[in-house]
Amino acid sequence: MKSTSYIGVSFLKRKIQLAEIEHKRKKLTVTVLAERDSSIDFAQAGASLSATHPQLGLFISEMKSFIKQQKVTAENISFALPPDPMFINIIPVDPGLTGKDLSQYLQWEMNQYFPAASPKEFIIGSDGLPLENKTAQQTFMVAVRRGVAAFLQKAVAGLKLNLNIIDIDQFSTEKTLITNYPEILEHEIVLFGLRSNGLDASLIHNGAMTDYRAFHYNGNSNPEKPIMEYLKYLQQKDIETPAAILLHGTDITQDFVVSLRTTTGIKQTLAMNSFRKIRAGDKLSKVFMKESYRFAAAIGLALRAK
């Protein structure tokens, strides 16, 4: 059976993380795992990106040399973006709304948050959470600025690749989690994504993300405070104590993991091992594999075939 490979790309601390995964029958192999500096900080510049952005050519050049240097052969590429320039919310939606009616309602919701913006400035998507009652379904609403999508579409065209998925960093990591930790999916799991200017927090219930909150740092970049705030928020929602905490992103030291384990009392507090159930190719960097939590979003995207 012919294999197909997929590229996943994420962005942390002005660096590009790249993972290539070969899909062959039921076997998944990470064939490339690499990182390089980026000229664009997507967290800061995301809201201003467009198909005519002055740094587009430089970004394409960086990606071309990166892909060539790493001998990437895949033709399908996906991007995990930081949440800063995106709009993410959980809203109640009438379960009967579909198609055009749902799109119009989502556009109305966006107008409440961005009254001066045209609905055409955003690509809006939604994903219903498990139905709680007959009158309202809690729903993830995600809006990506069209300029960001246009920037990436033009970059992919310049790379002569096929664009597969544009997603959010935290949401991309969900696939890495459920692939590598199948034995704990029947329990409540909390996923924390650490980044330079904030923290993403999610509840994974029955193997699916059912809650999301973003925390931004104001001076103090110690992630322990928002982590405890999120756990308290779950407690107030009468959600049972999570069986595990999994961490991904930047600057996850063993000392921090041990400290957090002690503070929360949750023994299964771990930096995510993105290779726990996935085969690693022979030529991968041992350093990157040891810090595979930094590549969790990129790997999650590369796991998602069309």
Question: How would DSSP label each residue in 38-83?
Answer: -S--HHHHGGG--TT-TTHHHHHHHHHHHHHHTT----EEEEEE-S
Q: What is the pTM of this model?
A: 0.93
pLDDT, residue 134, reads 63
Residues 119, 120, 123, 125: is their CA dihedral positive or negative?
positive
- Residue 104: name the closest of 88, 90, 89, 93 by CA: 93
Could you count the other beta carbons within 10 Å of the beta carbon of residue 92? 12
Contacts of 92 (CB under 8 A, 6+ apart): 136, 137, 138, 139
∠ CA 172-176-179, nearest 5°, is 135
CA atoms of 268 and 290, how far apart (whole Å): 18
Q: Please identify which residue in the block is written with the tokens 């498990």.
A: 130
Q: Where are the domains of the chain?
A: 4-83+146-174+276-302, 92-138, 181-271
pLDDT, residue 30, reads 97
- pLDDT higher than threshold 60 for residue 1: no
- Residue 299: name the closest of 14, 1, 35 by CA: 35
- Tell me what percent of the residues of the chain surpass a pLDDT of 90: 67
CA atoms of 292 and 297, how far apart (whole Å): 10
Half-sphere exposure for 50 (CA within 13 Å, toward CB): 5
Q: Of 81-90, 216-225, 240-249, 293-302, which range is least confident?
A: 216-225
CATH architecture group of domain 181-271: 2-Layer Sandwich (3.30)
Contact 43, 82 (CB under 8 A): yes
pLDDT, residue 130, reads 72
Q: What is the mean pLDDT of the chain?
A: 91
pLDDT, residue 159, reads 97
11, with CB counted inside 10 A (0-12, 13-18, 19+), is buried
- pLDDT higher than threshold 90 for residue 236: yes
For 241-251, how does the pLDDT look when each residue is reduced to its tens digit (9 = 90+)?
899 999 999 98
Class of domain 4-83+146-174+276-302: alpha beta
Contact 50, 147 (CB under 8 A): yes
Question: Is it true that 4-83+146-174+276-302 and 181-271 share their CATH fold?
Answer: yes
For 162-213, how does the pLDDT look when each residue is reduced to its tens digit (9 = 90+)?
999 999 999 999 999 999 999 988 899 999 999 988 899 999 998 889 999 9
Q: How confident is the model at residue 3 (pLDDT cuts 50, 70, 90)?
A: confident
For 10-67, how does the pLDDT look when each residue is reduced to its tens digit (9 = 90+)?
999 889 999 999 998 879 999 999 999 998 888 888 778 999 999 999 999 999 999 9
